[in-house]
Amino acid sequence: MKILLSLLQFTTILPLGKSQDLEPFARHSYLYPVSGYVIGTLVALPVFFIADHTIAAAVAVSLIMLISGAHHFDGLLDFGDGLMAHGDREKRIRALTDRYIGAGGVAAGIVITLLLFAGFQASTSLVFAIIIGEVCAKFSMSLLTVYGTPFRQGIHSYLHEFSQPHFPLIAALLCMPLLFIPIAPLKLMGAILAALLCPTILLLISNRLFGGVNGDVVGASNEITRACAILALVIF
């Protein structure tokens, strides 16, 4: 129970009582997808009762932001700044890690939010799309936690220190219940492909631009993978 509380307190703002130490979750970071099921279900339940598809999509985006405390969205904004910064690696890292949000961060936030909203609006089964997107997003975080070499000290380096090479395999097994969702196999395979490709591409970009990964990159992967997984469900 302490492990799950530690996980949910790290990934959500749910009122779960006394604050838990991060170490229980750090030793079991393969549990990220469990948080995806929890957040996805909490968002999908009220959305299910909204008849208008456009309003339902907007509410889904809003609830995801609210329940997660925009924690990972903040990483996306910082990643956008680092990605768009001009100059050498040090300047990019400075843009990535400072407290200010520039044009690159604003652009990244707008683009990914628009794509997510469009994907939700076009989904034939919004409730299932919410859950699939959230679980895929969290799987991408488990992948980067293990394989993203930290370039500085922080939460990511702490989680990475406890991670093991087999963690992504366990995380993948935790994603297996998605196979029981009544949705076309090709659509689900597209979402799974997004969950693999997005963190892999981000890892390559981050290694090249920043010399490694930090928590902002992992958070950005959560946001980008969610949007891409939802779009894959629609496009395929």
pLDDT in tens, 48-90: 999 999 999 999 999 999 999 998 999 999 999 999 998 899 9
Bigger pLDDT: 171 or 1?
171
Q: In the 3-class helix/strand/coil scheme, how is 50-64 assigned residue by residue?
A: CCCHHHHHHHHHHHH
Distance CA 135, CA 156 (A): 20
Mean pLDDT over 207-219 rounds to 96
pLDDT exceeds 90 at position 159? yes
The pLDDT of residue 99 is above 90: no
151 φ, ψ (degrees, to nearest 5): -105, 0
pLDDT tens string 32-50: 999 999 999 999 999 999 9
The pLDDT value recorded for residue 19 is 82
pLDDT above 90 for 16? no
pTM, 2 dp: 0.95
Q: Which of 187, 190, 35, 39 is nearest to 125 (CA)?
A: 187
Which residues fall within 8 angstroms of residue 207, CB to CB, at 6 or more apart?
Answer: 149, 213
SS3 88: coil
Lowest mean pLDDT among 97-106, 109-118, 208-217, 219-228: 97-106
CA 129 to chain centroid? 14
